[in-house]
A and B are shown apart, each in its own frame.
Chain A
Amino acid sequence: MAGAAEQTLVQRAKSGDMSAFEELIMAEQSRLYSFALGMAGGNYADAADVLQEALVKAFLNIKRFRGDSSFATWLWRIVHNEFLNYRKHRKTRPLVTSTDELETPSPTIDGNVTQEIIAEEQRARLWEVISLLPPKYREVLVMIDLREQGYEETASLLGISMSALKTRLMRAREKLSLLVRRRRKYFV
C-alpha cells in the first residue's frame, strides 16, 4: 500500500473509523495468518484465535502507532507479542495425541496414497516437534524456513541484528534436527 494512502487510512483508523482499519489489515491478513499458523504449530484454530486477538488489540491501540515503522511491521510485532502471551496462558493442543496413531499404514492401500499418508503424518510430527522449540527459535524457523521471509525483514521485525538472527537460526535448525533425530522412527 502506498505510503500516503496508508497514512490517510491510519489517520482515519485513529479517529475510530473501523472500515479504514479493516482496509489496512486486509493486505496483511494472509501473511499474518501464515505466521500465526507456523507459531501455533500448524493448529488452524489457535492461529485464528491469536490473530483475531492481536488485530483487536491493534485496533484498540492504534493511537499508539507513531509511524516509526510501517503499519505492517507494527502489526507483525503485535501478532508476535500476542502469540508469546498466548503461549504463556494456554498450551497448544497437540496435533497428534498419541504415538500409537502413527502405526504403519495398511498395506492394502494404494502405494501413492500410502506415501501421501506417511508424508502427512511426518508433517504432523514435524509441526509437533516445532511446537516444542522455545519461541525465539520457533519464530525464526517459521519466518525464514517456513515463510521464506528475507533475513533483513525478519531481523527488523524481531528487533535483532543480522548476525544475531543468523546465530539464532543456526541454533534453531540444530535443535530441530536434534529433536527429529530423537524421534527418528517417525521420520523414516
Chain B
Amino acid sequence: MTGPVWRAVEQVMGLPISVALRGRHAATAEGTAAWERVVADLRRVDRDFSSYRADSWVSRHNAGEDLPPAAGVDEVLALAEQACLESGGAFDVRRGNALDLDGVVKGWAVERAARRLRELDGTDFCLSGGGDLTCWTADPDGSPWQIGIEHPLDPARLIARVPVARGAVATSGTAHRGAHIVDPRSGRVPNAAASVTVVGPDLTWADIDATAAFAQGAGAVSWLRSRPGRNGLVVWADGRVETWAGPPPDRSTAPDDADPRRWVSPSRSSWPGRRP
C-alpha cells in the first residue's frame, strides 16, 4: 500500500515520538484518535517508569518506598531478567538496590502503544520513539516502509537502509546522548562499537538486543549472530561496518499462527526486590 503519508510528532518521555500512517485511516478522525491513544499510553508509562520524575513509581521504589508494583512492572521486570540471562549479564537493570528500567521500557512501551495503530483496518504505520521504531503493513506482503539507518559518526548522513513491512528497527549508540550505556560486568563504558542496529520482529527485543550488544563492545557481533530471527549491522568506532544475521527463528517456540509478536512470552515473573 502506498499513497500519501500522514505524519505527526509529540514529545513524550523526553523523546520525540514520530508516527507515519498511510492507507485507509492515514488522515481520518479515526487515525488521529488512535494516535492520541498512543500518546496517552506513552504518557502513562512515563508517569510510572521515568527516572526523571521524583513521583514516578520507579523513583519512589528507588527511594525506598514499599509500593505495590505499578501496571506493567511485572512484565518489564520479567523481560529484564530474561535479557540479563540471555546476554550473560551484559544487560542488567539493577544498580545496587535501585532499578534502572530505561533500557527495557522504551522499546516495550512503544511496541505496546503501537497496538492502538494496529486496530486501524487497512492502515500501515511506522511508530518511532527517539530513533527506535516499529512498522506494520496491513497486508503482510504490502509495500514495506523504507527505514534509513543513521551514520553514528556523522548523524547528518545515513549509512544503510532497510525495507521493513512488519517488524522493528532499534539502534544503540552514543551519537546523540554521549556515553549512557555501561557494561555492568566491568563497569566500563564500551567503546568498540559506534552503533548497533537490530532488525527483528518486535521493538521490545530489538531495543534490548541493541543495548545489550552495544554493552558487549568487541563481542557485539558474535553475540548478535546467536540471536534467532534478527539481523542488522554494527558500525565500529573506527568506521568499519559489519552486517550480521542470526539463525532462523526457533520454530519450536513459535505458536502455530506465527505471529512474531507473540514469541515473547516471559514465563518467569520474578521480582528482583531489594537486596539486603
Q: Is B one of A's binding partners?
A: no
Residue numbers of A with Cβ under 8 A of B are none
Residue numbers of B with Cβ under 8 A of A are none
